[in-house]
Structure 1
Amino acid sequence: MADILENKAFPSSILDTDLYKLTMQQAVLQHFPNVHAVYHFTNRTRTTSFSRQCVDNFQESVSRFTNLALTESERTWLESTCPYLSKDYLDYLSAFRFNPDQVSITFIPDSENNMSGQIEIEASGPWVETILWEVPLMATLSETYFQTDDTDWNYEGQEELAFDKGKTLFEAGCSVSEFGTRRRRSFQTQDLVVRALIRAAKENTNTGGRLNGTSNVHLARKYGSTPIGTIAHEWFMAIGALKGYENVNELALQCWEEVYAKTPTTLIALTDTFSTEAFFKEFMQDPGRAQKWTGLRQDSGDPLVFAPRVKEAYQALGINYREKLVVYSDALNVNKVLAIQKQCKELGFERVGYGIGTFLTNDFRRLSSGEKSKALNIVIKIQSVDGRPCVKLSDDPTKVTRETKTLSSTSRRYSSCSIVT
């Protein structure tokens, strides 16, 4: 593992992030340029500890984020590839520099030996600035951990593994996007995965399966692929905290339309921030908006419940559901995708997409035993805006972002949600 240990984790470009951070940053710049935000890190698997050396290496990497800046060639590429990013926004992004003083990193020892423990991470500052911290912080921490603490693995066979996954999915007619930046084992892993998927897609020409692109903007540029992504939970969470929860989904969609109304590819609504049923209650109230938005994305709960519910909703509104895009992005693997694909075909959906992340960019086995080498189960979520706590209910209790008083109040508003506090 010497080849891994010699390289410290560090983003190779300011574009080494997911596209939805750029699209949301532009929307925040337009609507909420003066809002203050706080982001908080959660290690969902508390049995996983970090060594003090890992935390020190991570902190050193974060201090070097100040070196990242949009280059002229990157800006030119964004102008031609992402025309929905305005000149004013690209001017802002060109001038943007990460401020590591916005990030607090604390090591909490597990025991008296002081050598391993948990890590606390908080990013605080203007929302329009701190919004860019989430993805590279997570990717850098994951790569640092697998360089420092868990080194019982290597890259042998990884590109062919990714190729075989892509080949199976494309032969089944699936439209796939690579979504693996945040929890990747390393940048090198994601790079070889994207390369392998492109190769698999080129070799499959007869089944309708395709590679839509990658969420990673830097890798999309490197490989001439399409950057993929629109909107994340934090948009809905922050607007709920700032504006209140009465019709929060509709308000969030309206604010988004004011930035991207002329760009159908960005109008894919995330449905589960305050539970999918709560979303549909509001979505059904405005047939015009339902018709305008290109599609809907499922990111928690039972995926096999989603497509029948979407079909029912569109039919009730008199909208041709066959013209609408349905996207799945919750912990997907080959078997899950194939099951969803089968159901969607049976229901008559003609436009179905799959965003696959950790299964592609962090699927390794231990060299010593052949057992699964588990990815970190980590998240960084927006915690508050202008001092007001943010809430995510989700359709999966393990994904709830909770601040007890606010969560209880929000749950009462959405009586269809099963979350109990």
Structure 2
Amino acid sequence: MAEQNNDLVLPASLLDTDLYKFTMQQAVLQHFPGVEGTYRFTHRDKDVFFTRACFDRFQRSVSQFSKLQLAPEERDWLAKTCSYLKPEYLEYLASYRFKPEQIRLRFDPLPEDAEKDARGDGAARGHIKIDAVGPWQETILWEVPLMACLSEIFFTTVDTDWNYDGQEEQAYEKAATLLQAGCSFSEFGTRRRRSYRTQDLIMKAILRAQEDNPDAPGKVSGTSNMHLAMKYGVTPMGTIAHEWFMGVGALRGYPHANATALRLWEEVYPNVLQIALTDTFSTEAFYKDFLSDPHFARQWTGLRQDSGDPFVYAPRAKEVYQQLGVDHTSKTIIFSDALTVEKALKLKQQCDELGFKCAFGIGTSLSNDFRKASSNGKEKSRALNMVIKLSSVDGKPTVKISDEITKNTGDPATVRHVKAIFGIPITEKDEVIH
């Protein structure tokens, strides 16, 4: 977030978001134009509180998002760099403006802080509610910049016990270690970055590490952030995301939602961007469709792991490919779930032993890995554990049934219904809306 005038925090540009938001927006425009789409914010750590001052600053910032628009040079860069974005889509994006009236914000003070909130000094603690409501093709772009904005405001308004000391050096060392170990990785940290400055520092550091290690077998593949990809001349990276499968399931039916989502995606991107995310309704449910139609295993270049035990993932994927008679050594697995350098190194070793190609999308561990300044580097400064997920399309609730139960989202009744369709055990946690 580059602009901070009069305490506002705004994206550096309309491109200051992740690639997958644009690729999915194009797919929504092609297949589901005009369908209503609602997104909802969840902060998973209930012992972390926002303040009224933080909320008010966030509200003021969001009200100014309508100022963002695609610059001519950005459109030219997109046309040159992302040939899969069609001219008619780029024309739509050039005319796109955020509509702050689509955002519904609410601050709920803690009961013990209600009187303090009434006094209006901004110090009252509480929870924030965020909904984005409007046409899916428009609301789809709110997720990433809203979270990046809120994180930066929180860490300059509520939690200020940190500083930038050592951030560039830390990122450089992480990148150098990954490169020397032969890991191909991308920077995926926009949504939960501590600040725009942090993500910018990280990009400079990891690219410097690559420049300083020209003979290392690893590679910095790029970044998910389109603005930084353009700024540093690197490849924008991203894959299909959960909300595509969630929306398709709600609109077209759940029994074969994975196959339907993949098929619709192929119609938009017939020969590119074909890394399949497997865990929207659980990876085993995904494999049922995968096994029933070998086309997907042959056509799609790989799979993305985003929840559950990552060390179970590759061995199971190998079994599935072998059942289908598909050479798994020609496929890539992208790991993107809460990665650290140590975890990536172990997963790389496992994939090497199994014969898979692999790559890594590393987010929070790069863009929000800080220590409390007051602890002299001994105590970790927690990142915000937040998501904004698609909650309904065309008035129908959407759900995500992850390989990790704490990542489940959606209306409990719909979660139970979809679990029954896929033969997934129902637990008491299904009664909780995440």
TM-score w.r.t. the length of structure 2 is 0.94
For residues 178 and 43 of structure 1, the distance between their equivalents in structure 2, rounded to whole angstroms, comes to 23
| Residue 390 of structure 2 is aligned to residue 409 of structure 1 | no
- In structure 2, the residue matched to 1:362 is 368
Which of 320, 329, 339 is 1:322 aligned to?
Answer: 329
| Counterpart for residue 386 of structure 1 | 394
Q: How does 1:47-62 map to 2 (within 5 A)?
A: 47-62=47-62
C-alpha deviation, 1:285, in angstroms: 1.1
Q: Which runs of 4+ in 1 moved over 4 A?
A: 4-7, 416-420
Q: Which amino acid aligns with 2:351?
A: C
Does 2:198 match 1:189?
yes
Q: Percent identical across equivalent pairs?
A: 57
Q: Which residue of 2 aligns with 1:353?
A: 359
**Paired amino acid for 1:402:** G
Q: Distance in 2 between matches of 1:5 and 1:88?
A: 34
Q: In 1, distance between residues paired with 2:288 and 2:328?
A: 17
Counterpart of 1:85? Answer: 85
Structure 2: distance between partners of 1:417 and 1:393: 11
Change over 3 Å in CA distance of 1:92–1:75 after alignment to 2:
same
Name 2:166's counterpart in structure 1.
Answer: 157
Cα deviation for residue 34 of structure 1 reads: 1.2
**Residue pairs, 1:286-301, within 5 angstroms:** 286-301=293-308
Aligned to 1:221: 230
CA distance in 2, matches of 1:418, 1:343: 32
The aligned counterpart of 1:255 is 264
| SS of match in other structure, 1:332 | coil
Counterpart position of 2:251: 242
Q: Extract unaligned runs of 5+ from structure 2.
A: 118-123
Equivalent residue for 1:373, pick from 362, 378, 381: 381
Contact persistence 1:180–1:190 (CA under 8 A): yes
- Contact 1:24 1:230 (8 Å CA) reproduced: no
1:275, 1:417 within 8 Å by CA — same for their partners in 2? no
Q: CA deviation at 1:8?
A: 3.7
> Secondary structure, in 3 states, of the residue corresponding to 1:394?
coil
CA contact (8 A) 2:255 2:422 kept: no
Count of equivalent residues: 415
Q: Does 1:136 align with 2:142?
A: no
Amino acid of the residue matched to residue 299 of structure 1? D
Paired residue for 2:17?
Answer: 17
The amino acid that maps onto 1:298 is Q
Shift of 1:318: 1.2
What is the CA distance between 1:416 and its match in structure 2?
4.2
Determine if contact 2:285/2:422 at 8 Å carries over to the other structure. Answer: yes
Q: Write the distance in 2 (CA, Å) between the matches of 1:362 and 1:262.
A: 34
SS class of match (2:90): helix
Instruction: Pick from 383, 399, 420 the counterpart of residue 407 of structure 2.
Output: 399
Paired residue secondary structure (1:368):
helix
- Aligned 1:331-346 pairs, distance under 5 A: 331-346=338-353
Equivalent position amino acid for 2:65 in 1: F
- Residue number among 280, 290, 306 corresponding to 1:273 in the alignment: 280
3-state SS of paired residue (1:155):
coil
More displaced, 358-367 or 205-214? Answer: 205-214
Superposed CA RMSD in Å reads 1.3
Q: Following TM superposition, by how much is the alpha carbon of 1:417 offset from its aligned partner in structure 2, in angstroms?
A: 5.5
In the alignment, is the contact (CA less than 8 A) between 2:416 and 2:426 conserved in 1? no
CA separation in 1, counterparts of 2:162 and 2:9?
A: 17
Match of 2:120 in 1: none
Counterparts of 1:294 and 1:8, CA distance in 2: 42
